[in-house]
Amino acid sequence: MTASPPPARSAVSPAALPPAGLDGFDTAHSRLLTVPGGDSWHYVDTADALAALGAEPVGTVLAVHGNPTWSYLWRHVVARTLEDARAGGPAWRVVAVDQLEMGYSSRSGRSRILPQRIDDLSAFTEALGLTGPVVTLGHDWGGVVSLGWATTHPELLAGVMLLNTAVHQPADVPIPAPLRLARARGMLGAGSVQTTGFLDVTLSLAAPPLPPEVRAGYRAPYPTASRRRGIGAFVADIPVDASHPSHARLTRLAADVAALEVPALMLWGPRDPVFGDRYLDDLVGRLPHAQVHRFEGAGHLVAEDAPVAESVLTWLDEYVGPGGRAGAGGLAGAGIVGDAGTATAPSCDGDGAGRASFTPLWAHLEERRDDDTDAVVELRGDGVRHVSWRTLNDRVTRLAAGLHRLGVRKGDRVSLLTTPGATLTAVVYACLRLGAVVVVADAGLGVQGLGRALRGAYPDFVIGETRGLAAARALGWPGIRISTARLPRASARALGVTVSLRELYDGPSLDLPAAPEPGDPAAILFTSGSTGPAKGVVYTHAQLSAVRDALGEHFAVTPDSGLVTGFAPFALLGPALGARSSTPEMDVSAPRTLTARAVAAAVSAAAADIVFLSPAAILNVVATAGELEPAERVVLGGVRTVLSTGAPVSERMLSELVAVLPNAQAHALYGMTECLLVSDITLDDVRAVRASGSGDEGVCVGHPIAGVEVRISALDELGRATGSPSRAVGMLGEVLISAPHLKSGYDRLWLTDREAVRDTPENGRWHRTGDVGHLDADGRLWIEGRLPHVIATSDGPVAPVGAEQAIETVEAVRRAAVVGVGPQGLRQFVAVVEASPRARRAALAAPELARRVRESTGHPLVAVFSVAQLPTDIRHNSKIDRAGLSLWAEGVLEGRRLSAP
């Protein structure tokens, strides 16, 4: 039985104008309109303001609030559109309604259900005489109502924009707990109408908390129970099941939305306890061409938590307005849609690999399906496990068949919560063969970071070991759960496991579907999270194959090669390269747990001649080299190539590594999750560059790998990268790259995609790395830090790494960080060092040490601090948290307590 709000206690009240003085709300745009039938609407309309500016509207934004807000929600959109029009930009008229029974619109005492509300909005726009093109903008249940209007007015519609909302509730999933509580017997009237409970809870969801004056603005139309009846009616109108009177209309609307071809935008607050990522994922499935951006940290009131107004105007101009991608009117065919029906961002390289030149990642498995030599060697505490090419190919084929029987289809997302090894390798290649998109988030992100990543990617399936599945169950991570091992029935039930890999493997064989196309999405790899919330980086099959080809060609990897991969992104490329591979025993969530003995064991087991290590792993391998037995040193002497992958590393670190692997040529690969291979330099080249006395500052990361183009975007006086892509020698700026193996885009981060691409008519498209550096006269790339760490002084921008390197030449200094303090454009330098002997606590450096540090660098230092340990990010202890150090140093210099940074 459906709950109903209390009966009406007052007569019909007319619409009214909001009072003056509501924070951010300009009453000059408030209007009243009575439609046939007598209902009166309060709405905001900027038509007169645009006319006063002499600006002809290019279209109308029809904005519809949800429950329990009102048109006050859209005040920033109203203000921003008028600002743009005053500045000469496209003039967008905004019409923001107060739904009937809400805000300052009339109160009839009737309980309106969804079909009526859609009809109400149609009656309003007809009475207003609204003409196209119209772009709808809706939030909460206003998103549903606005979509109802959009799907019934195709002749006027130019696009749809949505903030946290939903059009479908799965029959086997209960509505969110907060809504169940609000609808509970005895709570509906008390919480939504008789008190301000529902309103107060909604306003409390903002992050950061709303200022008192903004809370007052939202509360203004709802001072009494009679004015809050619409809030209760909205709660009662939530279609909990098929018996609800609004269920049929919502079901029809969900189907209608999937047929929309107009441009679409979704701006989402993932911390919403009601409209979470489940509903975003459903909408993305219905509108795969939509631009989507999740504002990490934002919640239900995303319009208050994030720059929604700016995002709306940017999208309108790019996709709907004059010159937008959809063309004038913006009706059908807009958006960039991949063959799998999933949204894909434009690739900086065009992703033009055709079927004729494309070799899929699993090609070597099929070629060597009768080969009984080792493909994967797995080292665990209980021994060594050898997996032949024949066995690996059989496992991949049978698992692909089993996953397909389970329902895994092309484009489905499969999250992998298992450690590198034979099982993970087989699962990855099975998913790739099916065209499923593998989601790989490093356990080093921690439980919270991993949870954020998986909720953002919203996988359809999760394959994991017990530990990962327990976390998924406890924290409510999405996806049908598959265990890597067969579990006792009670354990499987407790973890919510549907099936095990063994059961999938043992099932009947079947013909596999057609292989995916080169341009289909293949993987989402999450960044380390060291420069902000981890981002999902999307790769197509062509781009992953290009990574394989670049790696294989540059390092002459052959079927006779053996690889030891202590760096997670490359741990799965061995079979794709046709080479034996082994992952050393280590805690993959903490690369610095890798020991020299573990590397030796892996090299021996796989007869490896190539070793991949991360900078964090190298530090501990060097530190534990003294534990090696003579026989292990002999084994390590057989390695011909050792690669440091990821962050730039120093000559000293490479030299110390070669002391452990004495016959290996040491390479330092510069790259990132977005482009795993950018440039390469050997230790011999590093030494030659140093001996040349070139005077270049930073870390030389060598020449770009074949197929990679590097440019520099010069910095302005405030350290912003504003210059055109250039090959100019010695110019400090942001590093821009283009390559066949560059990522496709960021997953559900449309704004981040925009910011990461430099698109110029004369130079093409480039990925912005966020690193700063320069090119030398020989075309080598030097990295001098991160863009946010550039110190904008009165003499211009200065990168920190050169000064840090100079300080690290001081004998007592182990590591150094140089950061800026003070206002932008007038920043001053502070040095923070780890010294020997190690400081017990943070303090101003001893006078003699401070003098030597100051003499080592040409930059004037306002202070030199000595600390026990420089703060680093959770995964890469080679990456110093300079932003945190800067804030710490400013606080100390302002007189705060000198505690550890």
What is the per-residue pLDDT across 783-812, written as a single tens digit (0 to 9) for each? 999 999 999 999 999 999 999 989 998 988
Residue 816 is given by DSSP the state E
SS3 call for 729: strand
Report the distance separating Cα 787 and Cα 794, nearest Å.
Answer: 17
Query: Please, what is the Cα angle at 848 between 844 and 849, to 5 degrees?
Result: 60
- Work out the percent of the chain whose per-residue pLDDT is above 70: 91
SS3 call for 102: coil
If one compares 8 and 226, the residue with the highest pLDDT of the two is 226
Report the distance separating Cα 366 and Cα 820, nearest Å.
Answer: 55
Q: What is the pLDDT of residue 488?
A: 94
What is the enclosing helix (H) or strand (E) of 294?
strand 291-294
CATH number of this structure's domain 27-173+241-320: 3.40.50.1820
Closest alpha carbon to 247 in 238, 234, 255, 236: 238
Query: What is the average pLDDT across 457-485?
Result: 92
Whether the predicted pLDDT of 722 surpasses 80:
yes
Going by their DSSP bridges, the two strands 413-417 and 437-440 should be labelled as: parallel
Query: Please, what is the Cα angle at 142 between 136 and 143, to 5 degrees?
Result: 60
If one compares 868 and 148, the residue with the highest pLDDT of the two is 148
- Cα separation values, 297 from 191, 609, 659, Å: 27, 45, 46
Whether the predicted pLDDT of 856 surpasses 60:
yes
Whether the predicted pLDDT of 215 surpasses 60:
yes
Confidence of residue 342 (pLDDT cuts 50, 70, 90): very low
Q: What is the pLDDT of residue 870?
A: 87
Query: What is the average pLDDT across 224-234?
Result: 93
Report the distance separating Cα 438 and Cα 897, nearest Å.
Answer: 47
Q: Which stretches of 737-846 are DSSP H helices?
A: 750-756, 801-807
What is the sign of the dihedral through the CA atoms of 265, 267, 273 and 277? positive
Confidence of residue 181 (pLDDT cuts 50, 70, 90): low
Query: What is the average pLDDT across 525-546?
Result: 87
Q: What is the mean pLDDT of the chain?
A: 88
What is the enclosing helix (H) or strand (E) of 199?
helix 197-204
What is the enclosing helix (H) or strand (E) of 285?
helix 277-286
Query: Please, what is the Cα angle at 267 between 262 and 271, to 5 degrees?
Result: 145
Closest alpha carbon to 163 in 58, 76, 41, 36: 76
If one compares 785 and 5, the residue with the highest pLDDT of the two is 785
Query: Please, what is the Cα angle at 67 between 117 and 17, to 5 degrees?
Result: 80
Closest alpha carbon to 97 in 145, 59, 53, 55: 145
Confidence of residue 340 (pLDDT cuts 50, 70, 90): very low
Side-chain-facing half-sphere of 174: CA atoms under 13 Å: 7
Q: What is the pLDDT of residue 179?
A: 63
CATH number of this structure's domain 359-704: 3.40.50.12780
Task: Report how far Cα 693 is from the mean position of its chain's Cα atoms.
Answer: 41
Closest alpha carbon to 712 in 695, 704, 698, 724: 724
Query: Please, what is the Cα angle at 630 between 624 and 634, to 5 degrees?
Result: 95
Contact 182, 192 (CB under 8 A): yes
Query: Hey, do 359-704 and 790-901 end up sharing a CATH topology, with the first three levels equal?
Result: no
Whether the predicted pLDDT of 353 surpasses 80:
no
What is the enclosing helix (H) or strand (E) of 771?
strand 764-775
Query: Quick one: the chain helix, strand, coil %, rounded to 5?
Result: 35, 25, 40
Where are the domains positioned within the chain?
27-173+241-320, 359-704, 790-901
CB atoms within 10 A of CB 382: 6
pLDDT, one tens digit per residue, over 660-677 is: 999 999 999 999 999 999
Q: Length of the chain in residues, anyone? A: 901
Give 427's contacts (C-beta < 8 A, 6+ positions apart).
399, 414, 416, 418, 463, 484, 501
pTM of the model: 0.89
Whether the predicted pLDDT of 185 surpasses 70:
no
Whether the predicted pLDDT of 1 surpasses 50:
no
CB atoms within 10 A of CB 836: 10
What's at 71, amino acid-wise? S
For residue 757, list its beta bridge partners.
767
Report the distance separating Cα 612 and Cα 566, nearest Å.
Answer: 6
Residue 829 is given by DSSP the state E
Whether the predicted pLDDT of 339 surpasses 80:
no
Q: What is the pLDDT of residue 271?
A: 93
Give 19's contacts (C-beta < 8 A, 6+ positions apart).
27, 220
Contact 709, 737 (CB under 8 A): yes
Report the distance separating Cα 144 and Cα 140, nearest Å.
Answer: 7
What's at 508, amino acid-wise? P
CB atoms within 10 A of CB 255: 12
Query: What is the average pLDDT across 91-108?
Result: 97
Query: What is the average pLDDT across 21-40?
Result: 95
Whether the predicted pLDDT of 336 surpasses 50:
no
Side by side, which strands form the sheet with 861-867?
813-821, 828-835, 861-867, 843-844
Closest alpha carbon to 454 in 471, 466, 436: 471
Residue 872 is given by DSSP the state B
Q: What is the pLDDT of residue 531?
A: 66
For residue 714, list its beta bridge partners.
733
Q: What is the pLDDT of residue 321?
A: 84
Q: What is the pLDDT of residue 10?
A: 41
Q: What is the pLDDT of residue 328?
A: 35
Least confident among 190-204, 532-546, 565-579, 767-781:
565-579
Whether the predicted pLDDT of 5 surpasses 70:
no
Report the distance separating Cα 46 and Cα 167, nearest Å.
Answer: 29
Query: What is the average pLDDT across 695-715?
Result: 94
Closest alpha carbon to 769 in 843, 673, 842: 673
Give 123's contacts (C-beta < 8 A, 6+ positions apart).
35, 36, 37, 39
CATH number of this structure's domain 790-901: 3.30.300.30
Query: What is the average pLDDT across 551-562?
Result: 92
- Cα separation values, 554 from 270, 646, 655, Å: 41, 16, 22
- Work out the percent of the chain whose per-residue pLDDT is above 90: 69
Query: What is the average pLDDT across 72-82?
Result: 98
What is the sign of the dihedral through the CA atoms of 538, 540, 546 and 551? positive
Report the distance separating Cα 417 and Cα 396, nearest Å.
Answer: 18
Whether the predicted pLDDT of 345 surpasses 50:
no
Least confident among 57-66, 133-142, 181-190, 523-532:
181-190
Whether the predicted pLDDT of 219 surpasses 50:
yes
Least confident among 271-285, 436-450, 453-467, 719-733:
436-450
Contact 237, 113 (CB under 8 A): yes
Whether the predicted pLDDT of 348 surpasses 70:
no
Residue 317 is given by DSSP the state I
